[in-house]
Chains A and B, each alone.
Chain A
Amino acid sequence: MSKKRMMGLFGDFEEAHDAIADIRRNEVPGLTVDDVTMTSPIEHPEVEEVLGERPVHIQKFTLFGAIFGVVFGFMFLAAAQASFLVQPQGGKPVIALPSNIVLMYEMLIFFAVWLTFFAFIFLSGLLKKRSSLYSEKVSLDQVAIIVEIDESIGESVKGLFEKHRVLEIREEAIR
């Protein structure tokens, strides 16, 4: 059975929220909230009430970056200091922990921040070509719901969108 994407553009968040709530209540058989993506001009954390809580894993990369930063920082400094014994030490140890801790702390943040950034780009689906269903009105003041559906339930989805005063509907085939 062929599939397609359908986008409904709504005038405000409340209408879009109610439309997703109806999908959650199985008002269109064969369509679940897992098939739904909402695009909006601002962040709406309250949409998770109807979309369900979806996982975010950025913090794992942050933790990895932080640990890597500390370990790399220590190894880098210790290796550099240990290979440079001609430097006058003034009675202090060759690998001086108190001063290295300052630099390890900076490296912790450096790597944690960069890994967080790369994780954000990777996990949030950036750097992809925008679909033809993207509406520039979303960057202004409208909210869009995009669903992936079987052709057979297209009319039911349209009906649901229209019930919630959809402003515009667009479709594209999934190849």
Chain B
Amino acid sequence: MTMVTEKDINEQIAWAKINTDVLKSMENPRPAYWVTLAVCIAMVSTAVVAEYIQYTVGMGTANLNNPHMWDMYIAAFVFWIGMSHSGTLLSAILHLIHADWRKPIYRFAEAMTTFSLLTAGIFPMIHLGRVWNLYWVLPYVSDRGIWPNFRSPLVWDAFAITTYLTASMLFLFVGMIPDLAICRDNTTGWRKKLYGILALGWIGSDRQWRHFRKIYLLMACFLIPLAVSVHSIVSADFAMSIMPGWHITSFPPYFVAGALYSGCAAIITLFILLRYFFRFEDYMTLPIMEKTAKLTFAIAMVWTYLNLIEFASVWYGHDVYNKELLIAKATGAYAWIFWIMLFCGSVLPFALAFRKLRRHMPTMFVVSLFLNLGMFFERWMIVAPTLSMSQEPHQWDIMYGSIVEWAIVFGSFGWFGMLFLIFVKVFPSVSMYEVKEMVFHRKRSAGEEDLARMTDHAKPVTQTTGGGSA
């Protein structure tokens, strides 16, 4: 008897049902969707009030003072940039290696990238304090003919993030065009008008599909190095300085691994939410959840290794400032954050190694939230301890952030959630045409395998309904 692994998707699902299920999700989510959206809006409102206080009173309310010129806002900026990485990067990599299980989940993951970047982009403005001068962050020539310093990684950030945001949005948009045409053909009123414009006149001709295949491949090829470069450049904000704890050779890969890790954890969180809100059990299946969880586990182990190698190189490098900082992180005022970070980032992911847990949605939901808590603390542990304990001992200070600062950071999660939830209500969060492709090709290859077996007079395969590889 041949053992067959559980299928990622039911190959017998009718194409009409795929259209109906996904289009219905845009009209009729569960009530929990509205509750979550309301919570997100409430969180944003909290942040708006906090920002108003900061705007009127000044940056002192956020405890941003020497030596903590960078703190929670920059940690949150790095966190959201990191969060943006998994969506587009994983979608592009899995597309290039023909991993078709990405098809039901890549759309919302790519949307996650866009909205994470839009959230990240808010923090430099908030951190500047004088938000009315936010255009100063852009690399342009001033009235006195002065250009920004192009040698500064902060200017590189502006270029890299702008490029990544536009490229990710184009990648998301291009991938949606055939689905927007489906929406155009199956809706009425304002939706029909909106989708009609956005579908750009798509009719699904062989010419359009041929060009579509090429542009998707080309964009995927560009987005992989772009995503890596963006987070390397964000790491350069720190690593190009001579501050202890920041001037580390392994920072770029460490940042990229951390970004992929938090992004994967967020994909799991959103996977579970969308599966419940929109009744997507037929598309966001347990085998796909298992694959995502295994990928997250693998990335968690890479991140763990990069942490260990950083600790080891600091220890054996024997630079007194770096070594003292490392000891202070593990035993000082920030120790509880440091150990929670390591627990959530390196120990908790072992839960993903157990098949039973990987298939238990409530457990996975809680685990994914804690993984991201660990990743937020990681960013805080990059920014805060170095500023607290730099080379000048008379400047040493501990800072946990003010209530205004925390409210704005808290609100950023609401902002991201609000944008994301509006997106998945207006646009199809499961790619209809790609799920059809997945079903079509899997059914066809299954048919070819059956034919080959019958030709060889082999016994037919026995399907195990609940079974699967660990």
Task: Quote the shortest CB–CB distance from B370 to chain A (angstroms).
Answer: 34
Most interface-central of A39, A100, A136, A139 (chain B CB within 10 A)? A139
Given A103-B159, A105-B229, A117-B215 in contact, is the A42-B436 Cβ separation under 8 Å? yes
B89 to chain A, nearest CB (A): 14
Q: Does B43 contact A (CB under 8 A)?
A: no
Q: Closest residue to B167 on the A side, CB-wise?
A: A113
Min CB gap B210→A, angstroms: 5
Closest residue of chain A to B171 (Cβ to Cβ) is: A113
Q: Is the CB of A102 within 8 A of B156?
A: yes
A124 touching B159, Cβ below 8 Å: no
CB distance from B99 to the nearest CB of A (A): 17
Q: Do B436 and A41 have beta carbons less than 8 Å apart?
A: yes
Determine whether A175 belongs to the interface, using a CB cutoff of 8 Å to chain B. no
Interface of A is mostly: helix
| B186: interface (CB < 8 Å) | yes
Q: Which residues of A contact B208 (CB under 8 A)?
A: 124-126
- A113 adjacent to B170 (CB under 8 Å): yes
* Chain A 83-116 interface 0/1 with B at a Cβ cutoff of 8 Å (1 = within): 1100100001000100110110111011011101
- Is A51 on the interface with B (CB-CB < 8 A)? yes
Q: A99 to chain B: which residues have CB within 8 Å?
A: 150-151, 156
Report the minimum CB–CB distance from A9 to chain B (whole Å). Answer: 13
Is B33 located at the chain interface by the 8 A CB criterion?
no
Min CB distance A17 to B, Å, is 11
Residues on A with beta carbons closer than 8 Å to the beta carbon of B202: 126
Question: Does A58 count as interface, using CB distance less than 8 angstroms?
Answer: yes
Closest chain A residue to B159, Cβ basis: A106
Contacts of A134 in B (CB 8 A): 203
Q: Which residues of A contact B (CB under 8 A)?
A: 13, 37-45, 47, 51, 54, 56, 58-59, 62, 77, 80-81, 83-84, 87, 92, 96, 99-100, 102-103, 105-107, 109-110, 112-114, 116-117, 119-121, 123-130, 134, 136, 138-141, 146
Q: Which 10 A-B pairs have the closest CB atoms?
A: A124-B211, A141-B15, A136-B185, A120-B215, A80-B147, A43-B209, A99-B151, A126-B200, A110-B163, A139-B182
15 A-B residue pairs with CB within 8 Å:
A13-B440, A41-B436, A42-B440, A56-B210, A96-B151, A99-B150, A103-B159, A105-B229, A106-B159, A116-B215, A125-B207, A125-B208, A128-B201, A136-B186, A138-B203
